[in-house]
Amino acid sequence: MILEFTNDHASYVVTKPMHQSQVVLSKNEKTTTFRIDVVLNYELEREILGFGECVKVLSPRLLISKIKRRLEQTFSQYETKEEMDIK
Protein backbone atom coordinates (compact mmCIF):
# COMPACT_ATOMS: atom_id res chain seq x y z
CA MET A 1 0.00 0.00 0.00
CA ILE A 2 1.23 3.50 -0.83
CA LEU A 3 0.33 6.45 1.42
CA GLU A 4 1.19 10.10 0.92
CA PHE A 5 1.39 12.26 4.05
CA THR A 6 1.78 16.00 4.41
CA ASN A 7 5.24 16.69 5.79
CA ASP A 8 3.92 18.10 9.05
CA HIS A 9 2.52 14.61 9.81
CA ALA A 10 5.17 12.58 8.00
CA SER A 11 7.65 13.16 10.81
CA TYR A 12 5.18 11.53 13.23
CA VAL A 13 4.78 8.53 10.91
CA VAL A 14 8.57 8.23 10.68
CA THR A 15 8.96 8.17 14.47
CA LYS A 16 5.88 5.98 15.05
CA PRO A 17 5.73 3.65 12.02
CA MET A 18 2.35 2.25 11.01
CA HIS A 19 4.00 -1.13 10.34
CA GLN A 20 7.48 -2.67 10.51
CA SER A 21 7.55 -2.96 6.70
CA GLN A 22 7.23 0.83 6.33
CA VAL A 23 9.71 2.52 3.98
CA VAL A 24 9.94 6.06 2.61
CA LEU A 25 9.56 6.04 -1.17
CA SER A 26 9.93 9.75 -1.83
CA LYS A 27 9.87 13.17 -0.23
CA ASN A 28 9.35 16.66 -1.62
CA GLU A 29 8.72 20.08 -0.12
CA LYS A 30 5.06 19.28 0.71
CA THR A 31 4.65 15.51 1.10
CA THR A 32 6.34 12.24 1.98
CA THR A 33 5.28 8.97 0.39
CA PHE A 34 5.47 5.70 2.32
CA ARG A 35 4.96 2.06 1.38
CA ILE A 36 3.76 -0.54 3.85
CA ASP A 37 3.18 -4.20 3.06
CA VAL A 38 0.06 -5.21 4.97
CA VAL A 39 -3.23 -7.02 4.58
CA LEU A 40 -6.17 -4.64 4.25
CA ASN A 41 -8.39 -4.65 7.33
CA TYR A 42 -10.82 -2.46 9.24
CA GLU A 43 -8.25 -1.37 11.84
CA LEU A 44 -5.95 -0.12 9.10
CA GLU A 45 -8.80 1.86 7.54
CA ARG A 46 -9.52 3.43 10.93
CA GLU A 47 -5.89 4.40 11.40
CA ILE A 48 -5.74 6.00 7.95
CA LEU A 49 -9.00 7.86 8.57
CA GLY A 50 -7.57 9.10 11.86
CA PHE A 51 -5.00 11.14 9.94
CA GLY A 52 -7.83 13.02 8.21
CA GLU A 53 -6.82 15.46 5.52
CA CYS A 54 -3.11 14.84 6.17
CA VAL A 55 -2.98 11.51 4.30
CA LYS A 56 -3.94 10.31 0.84
CA VAL A 57 -4.06 6.65 -0.19
CA LEU A 58 -2.32 6.25 -3.54
CA SER A 59 -2.76 2.48 -3.85
CA PRO A 60 -4.30 -0.08 -3.91
CA ARG A 61 -7.45 1.00 -5.70
CA LEU A 62 -9.64 -1.11 -3.44
CA LEU A 63 -8.47 0.81 -0.37
CA ILE A 64 -8.86 4.14 -2.18
CA SER A 65 -12.49 3.22 -2.89
CA LYS A 66 -13.16 2.11 0.68
CA ILE A 67 -11.66 5.26 2.23
CA LYS A 68 -13.43 7.50 -0.26
CA ARG A 69 -16.79 5.81 0.47
CA ARG A 70 -16.34 6.13 4.22
CA LEU A 71 -15.40 9.81 3.93
CA GLU A 72 -18.44 10.47 1.73
CA GLN A 73 -20.66 8.80 4.33
CA THR A 74 -19.06 10.90 7.06
CA PHE A 75 -19.53 14.09 5.06
CA SER A 76 -23.19 13.29 4.43
CA GLN A 77 -23.81 13.18 8.20
CA TYR A 78 -22.92 16.87 8.37
CA GLU A 79 -25.06 18.10 5.49
CA THR A 80 -27.95 20.23 6.64
CA LYS A 81 -31.48 19.77 5.34
CA GLU A 82 -31.15 23.05 3.41
CA GLU A 83 -27.98 21.84 1.69
CA MET A 84 -29.69 18.58 0.76
CA ASP A 85 -32.70 20.46 -0.65
CA ILE A 86 -30.41 22.50 -2.93
CA LYS A 87 -28.97 19.36 -4.53
User: How much is the pLDDT for 83?
Assistant: 62
User: How much is the pLDDT for 80?
Assistant: 73
Parts of the chain with a pLDDT under 70: 81-87
53 touches 71 (CB < 8 A): no
Give this prediction's pTM.
0.86
5 touches 32 (CB < 8 A): yes
Distances in Å between the alpha carbon of 66 and those of 41, 45, 55?
A: 11, 8, 14
User: How much is the pLDDT for 86?
Assistant: 60
